[in-house]
Structure 1
């Protein structure tokens, strides 16, 4: 429920940009553990004896035309998928560079070259034709041969630039880079101002116009439009508001814990008679927690993925640390172990 859990401020800029891939924006810390990534600016490892020194990841990117710098607001990590794309691009460059050497884009044919090529390709018998004599009609074979040997007419548009990879992968990489740039860029400043008009009953003719600050203007705007979900998400991205909301949530949990420890509410863990232990179950404990502490139970249910047994047991253990009188769960486990094994030693003997 903290601000660091969200992917970014209103899904445009991550709060912890260093935990995302610089190219595709993938979250590299999904379970709070950084895994499956490479440091772009890390120095290369020292080679072993007899082995050549491998270039660093930054140098490999520079060789394929991607020059990066370390700057604030940009991640210095890369995911495994983007790292594999570098290998594909390098493999394509090995084929592209020899082809670029035979590119005829800058070649300008001359008259001498054209005549020489025609003489080599179409050796004919030279004859002298008088100036006053009309030229002989060309045969269809000669016309077809002339068309074939004629220089090709240049196109209106230049030839397409050679691609380093396939069309689909290049398009996907371009979309990923654009998405990453949008995600890592600084949030744009608001171009509109949000104002709140407050009219008091004592002075209706003089309403108060309050100007909203930039960090809360979006929250006020979404609340006015009735978009509560968007407003709540923006509240958690605002540092001052998120801390106050966290304090209020903890206060709710504290109030619910006081209700659980109060003897007037007849909480299940506070009843330790033999008859109560016979009727004890994790399902009934979960129902009691839902009655007296719904907010705290919702947190435990979310952590345990709605598992009644795990959320009830974790609540019982936590409440035992808060108040030793809430020992119903401990007595229940102790009675089950003693009944099943005839004593602690005999019960745990098979486990040794």
Structure 2
């Protein structure tokens, strides 16, 4: 079979087809390859090649490596050439100077007497010489595009010079190449993990503190050129700049995935399926679905860290309080055992003057020393600065019920009814450590029934609150008074108004894959909650509130009664006080009220709920 000329290398004529397979070669005139191509590289070193008949269009890898070596050492070669040129110019100047020294001396000036017979030529003058030189320069140079650029640069007109440079065909390409090289260097700087770029940090703690402001500051710090390019494209919109740059950089370095995990959380919260992640991960927008679920589990494991810290603070406070009460009891016992309580001595409760006691100076000095020693002992046992009580918290849980329909039902694959438990912890705004747990506020013998009946002060407070409630209703539902909506009191002031105006601090604790309708599952859930979240002091577990709907509260109380025969308060599940949540009760109340009293068919019956709503034109219930 006749051999093809393209099977051989263009330079070394090596046969590149081995065993019928063409390999270890590259095409010279392939337009699909990224610049610079091999012909461009050869043109840079001084060799111009063209497509010719009888010449191969391929080159082997060895010749390409040789070209790379030539390009590597070509700057060194040109440096040598420049050095030789400098040496030749120096030698030429020295030879010129020596010729001037060896030249014959200049003849003497014309005698003054003969000058009047000589023809006097007119001198052109310095200004005329300058004009002629500038005209010659302008005639030779200023007709080209480069002259305008040089002229503006010489006059320090940078804006005009830049415009002419960008209009120049060859200079524009060189400027673009320079900008691209600067952009490449900035991208390498960002992709270096040692520069502490925010997109490198994808741990759960770092993702919690992720923000667009930090990303924008890092972009301005590490890559100002890249940031300016995206700012121009996105019209200086900060979130769009951060999102576009993060996606673009992850296409270059897949490990810059902090923003991708941020988008994963948004998509998972919105209920995106696996197919969404499969498509977006190929576009470098998100990670794969497996990585997204794994990161969600890592974040879930860190959700209770702040709550566990609050639990340890409560346990430390309980220990200190127990030690303080123990020291107070020890002090009281020491007072009871002191000589002042012995018969025949003056009790400490009777305050007498020094003259009435008639004590000698020695006895006074001894009593003062003894008092000083007792004060020192008390200061050691009971420090003056009591520890600040930490915030308490409560556990709120509710059932999560949903139904999974099977597309193809069978004996092994049928419809499923899922019942899980979702629980969170909420920090209490008002501390309750100042309230006693073992003593009532008032003794039963001192209690009077009139304390519970509404008096004049109670009625005054109720009247003031009813005025506030009435003003809200009038400005909300009566059109004439709606202009006064902004001046009414929306929150009745009380002792803890500032604390209750703050947003709630909650700690998500995740799902418990148990069914609260099953006794065994609910008992395991309550034991787990008490073991993980209830503070433990020297006297056993402390009590926290556990809330839910009425059915949850009833089931939890039944479980607690079933464990009432335990030996310790922990075994009896006494670390939890169950309550029902008000919002759930109010919602159920409105649902019952709506079902009982509202009917769309009673719109014509006066006095009914539907007729009154129609008369008041209150149609939000229908929407």
Larger radius of gyration: 2
Which range, TM-score by smaller chain? 0.3 to 0.5
How high is the TM-score relative to the length of structure 2?
0.22
